[in-house]
Amino acid sequence: MKMSPLVSVIIPTFNRATLIARALESVLSQDYTPIELIIVDDGSTDQTGEILQKYSAKIHYHYQGNSGVSAARNAGIRLSRGEFIAFLDSDDWWVQGKIRSQVEALIESGEKVVHTGEIWIRNGKRVNPCNHHQKSGGWIFEQMLPLCAISPSSILMDRVVLQTCGDFDESLPACEDYDLWLRITSRFQVLFLETPYVFKTGGHKDQLSRSIPGLDRFRVQALARALRDCPLTPTQRKLTEEMMVKKASIFAKGCEKRGKHQEAGEIISFVAEQLEKTERNPL
């Protein structure tokens, strides 16, 4: 591997004209070369295109009809040429040194995936994450089960990881990162750099976690896929099954409270079917 491999940075964006320049500038100010910066505009109708025109000599700009963040990231992956791939959400931004430190960590260790610490910003103010949001490294599949323990904006990976595990599931309107991280962490050890190289923002109205209700139903789908497709140990399989049942129960109880009895029954039936398949086809 070359000591300075090309890093492809993929920024998906949709109607974030007021934020995209900050994210973009944080990539351009990295103290590492070479970087290939790919902006995938997922059908913006605001001034995003006009703002990005000013950076036309420094970025690869791709416009597509609105298809969701997974489709946008996947489009960026297809367009990319780098040995290493990083993602940055358009409402987040990086601290200088992120890419250099991550590339050095992967080259020195021989590992394929690395993520970093974060600084959380909510409604314009810095907040401290809860203990269950703490990040770590190693074989972290089991730590990934309760919630998404890696942020897309913090990760850098060797291209071989996506070639092995697949890309983002475009059928999931949310929790698509949780789904991919389960597939990755079941196969690859993950490095963790404690330095908070990422400013991660939240609280705005267009955030997926705020705009899409009942996220646990998508986590259940991701867990079912992990049971089906990932090379899990017996212990990991048992924990995955238990987490799938737990998250389905939470979602079903919420449906019952809102009078959505059919949805509650559907997810319970789905989980029962998945468990039955697991019993019939043990790995």
- Give the start-to-end residue ranges of the domains of the chain: 7-211, 216-280
Report pLDDT for 129.
73
H or E stretch including 10? strand 7-13
Q: Please, which pLDDT band fits residue 280 given cuts at 50, 70 and 90?
A: low
In the predicted model, what is the mean pLDDT of residues 68-87?
98
H helix count then E strand count, the chain:
11, 9
Q: Please, which pLDDT band fits residue 283 given cuts at 50, 70 and 90?
A: very low
Average pLDDT, the chain: 93
In the predicted model, what is the mean pLDDT of residues 160-185?
97
Name the 3-class secondary structure at 184: helix
H or E stretch including 93? strand 93-94
* Integer Cα distance of 150 and 135 in angstroms: 7
Q: Say which range, 7-16, 94-103, 131-140, 186-195, has the weakest mean pLDDT.
A: 131-140
Q: Tell whether the torsion through CA atoms of 80, 191, 173 and 93 is positive or negative.
A: negative
Max CA-CA distance within the chain?
Answer: 59
Report pLDDT for 1.
45
Other C-beta atoms closer than 10 Å to the C-beta of 66 total: 13
In the predicted model, what is the mean pLDDT of residues 249-275?
94
β-strand partners of 106 = none
Pair 8, 38: CB distance under 8 Å? yes
Q: Which residues are CB-neighbours of 109 under 8 A, at least 6 positions away?
A: 191
Residue corresponding to tokens 């960026």:
76
Go through 191-206 and write b for each residue having 16 or more CB atoms within 10 A of its CB, e for each that does not: bbbeebbbbbbeeeee
- Closest-CA residue to 186 (of 225, 132, 133, 131): 225
Most confident of 138-142, 145-149, 277-281: 138-142
H or E stretch including 249? helix 234-257
pTM over 0.85? The answer is: yes
Q: Where are the alpha helices (DSSP H) in the chain?
A: 20-28, 48-53, 69-79, 98-109, 141-144, 159-165, 176-185, 208-211, 216-229, 234-257, 261-280
* Integer Cα distance of 279 and 283 in angstroms: 9
- Closest-CA residue to 30 (of 61, 60, 7, 3): 7
Distances (CA, A) of 148 to 8, 42, 66, 276: 23, 23, 25, 26
Domain at 7-211, CATH class: alpha beta
- Closest-CA residue to 189 (of 85, 113, 86, 84): 113
Q: Tell whether the torsion through CA atoms of 123, 124, 130 and 135 is positive or negative.
A: positive
Beta strands 190-202 and 113-122, pairing class: parallel
- Our CA angle for 7, 8, 10, nearest 5°, is 145
Other C-beta atoms closer than 10 Å to the C-beta of 4 total: 12
